[in-house]
Amino acid sequence: MALLNLASVSLTYPGDERPAVENLSLSINQGELLAVVGPSGCGKSSTIGLLAGLTPATSGLLTLNDHPILAPGPDRAVVFQDYSLFPWMTALDNIIFALEESGRATGKAAGEQAKKLLDMVGLSSYSHKYPSELSGGMRQRVAIARAFALDAPVYLMDEPFGAVDAKNRVSLQDLLLKLWAGDGNKKTVFLVTHDIDEALYLADRIAVFTPGPGKVQKIIDVPFPRPRRRFFLVQDPRYIELRNEILSLLQKEILAELQQVEGGAGI
């Protein structure tokens, strides 16, 4: 059943002539992990802002559980690429703050829950470290733990692993799957990524965006059963076929866009 819906949504920022998102229609199902891929500037991050209620649509309708999205709310948690931690708070205090501000827990209960979340992300021994004392991968683990502390039904993730190295990226991908599945009551995740392999490993479906203004070029079902094993996955002929299809879609759209620039002078 569709939980999030975007119906003919367009967004033009004040002062811009060209829309960032144009006539975008997309549904995200309850418990689904949907990945969005597309070239830079295609409206992926703008769509996160729309779904988060941070940016009002110029036209069209966005709904969550059939209710219009008009503002941020506790039913949606956002994870950004740049960690967004409070630098004056320890790792533990960052999570406690999220729990208390959301009303999920207070006092001693918030502290205990925050410790459990840090343990889940493998950082229990770093609880009293400040963000400046943590590596990029560690900071992002804290940011993800803080987001999941909110226990929101929907998670909007804007290239959350884009600023970490390859080793940490793999670890964080597996952490996301662990938190997403939870106790069997899966969250709904809208994941923006520029990494096709990441999308194929994590997602139930992949939405391929056109170059800006953003709209859906194609929705691709990811057929691989879970749990997925990277070593076997990348050798599956279907994986190679889907990867090549997505690459071809992106290249085709980018070339078509360039051909419209001064009669094709961009290619």
Q: What's the pLDDT tens digit per position in 99-118?
A: 998 888 999 999 999 999 99
Q: Is residue 237 part of a domain?
A: no
Q: Give the residue from 151, 181, 200 where a domain finishes.
A: 151
Q: Do 68 and 187 belong together in one domain?
A: yes
To which residue do tokens 């459990």 refer? 116
Q: What is the CATH number of the domain that holds 29?
A: 3.40.50.300
Q: Is residue 246 part of a domain?
A: no
Q: How confident is the model at residue 263 (pLDDT cuts 50, 70, 90)?
A: low
Q: Is residue 260 part of a domain?
A: no
Q: Which residues contact 54 (CB under 8 A, 6 or more apart)?
A: 72, 78
Which has the closest alpha carbon to 187: 5, 31, 7? 31
* 57 in Cβ contact with 50 (< 8 Å): yes
Q: Do 15 and 146 belong together in one domain?
A: no
Q: Do 64 and 9 belong together in one domain?
A: yes
Which has the closest alpha carbon to 253: 8, 48, 37, 46? 37
Q: Do 167 and 133 belong together in one domain?
A: no
Q: Do 136 and 184 belong together in one domain?
A: no
Mean pLDDT of 55-67: 96
Report phi then psi at 251, rounded to 5: -65, -40
Q: Do 46 and 135 belong together in one domain?
A: no
Query: Rounded distance, CA 258 to CA 235, Å?
Result: 34
Q: What is the pLDDT of residues 211-248, one digit of tens each?
A: 878 889 999 999 999 999 999 999 999 999 999 999 99
Q: Is residue 236 part of a domain?
A: no
Q: How confident is the model at residue 255 (pLDDT cuts 50, 70, 90)?
A: low
Q: Is residue 53 part of a domain?
A: yes
At residue 266, the pLDDT reads 45
Q: Do 164 and 71 belong together in one domain?
A: yes
Q: What is the pLDDT of residues 82-104, one digit of tens each?
A: 767 999 999 999 999 999 988 88
Residue 162 has pLDDT above 90, yes or no: no
Q: Do 49 and 161 belong together in one domain?
A: yes
Q: Do 18 and 105 belong together in one domain?
A: no
Determine if the pTM surpasses 0.85. yes
Q: Do 94 and 117 belong together in one domain?
A: yes
Q: Give the residue from 151, 170, 188 where a domain finishes.
A: 151
Residue 30 has pLDDT above 50, yes or no: yes
Domain total for the chain?
2
Give residue 130's domain range: 87-151
Q: Do 53 and 171 belong together in one domain?
A: yes
Q: Do 56 and 172 belong together in one domain?
A: yes
Q: Is residue 123 part of a domain?
A: yes
Q: Is residue 265 part of a domain?
A: no
Q: Is residue 240 part of a domain?
A: no
